[in-house]
């Protein structure tokens, strides 16, 4: 069962408000000494009090207004099962390493899904003052202005974003796959924030993006926004990296890029 449009509009408004509150808190801490710094999956996969504070603010607002929705958030995991059929996916700080090093490429990512898939998505970049948002069926918006991607049939002219995991073996395999991709595209960018990479596909700053090992909360909001802008999002089965991937592209590029990405896995050990 799909969500009533009026309910979806409230969900989108709530996501926008929560993202802006969290973004303001993150900006206040940006380029200050990190507090409460700990490691997660590896010694290079970090989390700080900035992540936790932003997440607490987002989850508190969602729970206050929609206490029966399910929530999956990066730092606290699955909060509850929910009873409404809606599930929030929250990344309070996508690009933590960038944030901790003072590199201005990070964002707040909030999505909500129903039985039909992605319902709303918000990616907020507070340093640039840019809010990417969409509700299923469109339009995709950047600060209120509609985004509509134009088609392209030439992968060789495409600027493609990608990313790398924290595990050393996975990073090596991702890098090996990238060696097979680079000759087929204009160039590659590695920004360090999956949600922003996807938002930038939606607004045309990147022509496409792919990455293996991203989590649902990294890409859920971006997937709604790219799709609403007329682009294509594909799930890629797990390969040598040991984890599935996500691919997003402007019209006409998803299938050619997918062919190249798949072929580049041959021989990876």
Residue 246 lies in a domain: yes
Tell me 215's DSSP state. Answer: -
Nearest to 170 by CA among 210, 209, 212, 218: 212
Q: What is the CATH number of the domain that holds 89?
A: 3.30.540.10
Q: What is the CATH number of the domain that holds 205?
A: 3.40.190.80
> In this structure, are 17 and 114 located in the same domain?
yes
State if pTM tops 0.85: yes
Q: What is the pLDDT of residue 58?
A: 97
Share above pLDDT 70 across residues of the chain, in percent, rounded to a whole number: 92
By the 8 A CB rule, do 208 and 254 touch? yes
Residue 31 lies in a domain: yes
- Using DSSP, state whether 31 is helix, strand or coil: coil
**Cis omega before residue 267 (within 30°)?**
no
> In this structure, are 142 and 174 located in the same domain?
no
Chain mean pLDDT for the chain: 92
Confidence of residue 5 (pLDDT cuts 50, 70, 90): confident
Domain containing 206: what range? 155-263
Residue whose entry in the numeric block shows the structure tokens 């700053």? 205
125-156 pLDDT, tens digit per residue, is 999 999 999 999 989 999 999 999 999 989 99
Residue 268 lies in a domain: no
């Amino acid at each position: 069962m799909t969500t009533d449009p009026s309910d979806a509009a409230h969900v989108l408004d709530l996501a926008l408000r929560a993202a802006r509150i969290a973004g303001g808190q993150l900006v206040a801490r940006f380029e200050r000494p990190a507090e409460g710094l700990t490691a997660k999956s590896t010694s290079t996969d970090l989390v700080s009090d900035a992540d936790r504070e932003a997440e607490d603010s987002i989850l508190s607002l969602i729970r206050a207004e929609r206490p029966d929705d399910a929530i999956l958030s990066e730092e606290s995991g699955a909060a509850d099962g929910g009873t409404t059929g809606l599930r929030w996916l929250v990344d309070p700080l996508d690009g933590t390493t960038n944030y901790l090093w003072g590199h201005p490429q990070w964002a707040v990512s909030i999505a909500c899904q129903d039985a039909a898939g992605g319902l709303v998505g918000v990616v907020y970049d507070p340093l640039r003052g840019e809010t990417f948002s969409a509700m299923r069926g469109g339009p995709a918006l950047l600060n209120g202005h509609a985004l509509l991607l134009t088609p392209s049939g030439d992968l060789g002219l495409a600027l493609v974003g990608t990313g790398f995991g924290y595990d050393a073996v996975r990073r090596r395999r991702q890098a090996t796959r990238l060696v097979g991709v680079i000759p087929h595209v204009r160039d590659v960018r590695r920004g360090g924030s999956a949600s922003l990479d996807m938002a930038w596909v939606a607004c045309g700053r990147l022509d496409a993006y792919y990455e293996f090992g991203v989590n649902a909360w990294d890409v859920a909001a971006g997937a709604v926004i790219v799709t609403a802008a007329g682009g294509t999002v594909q799930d890629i089965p797990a390969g040598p990296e040991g984890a599935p991937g996500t691919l997003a592209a402007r019209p006409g590029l998803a299938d050619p890029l997918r062919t190249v990405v798949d072929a580049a896995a041959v021989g990876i050990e």
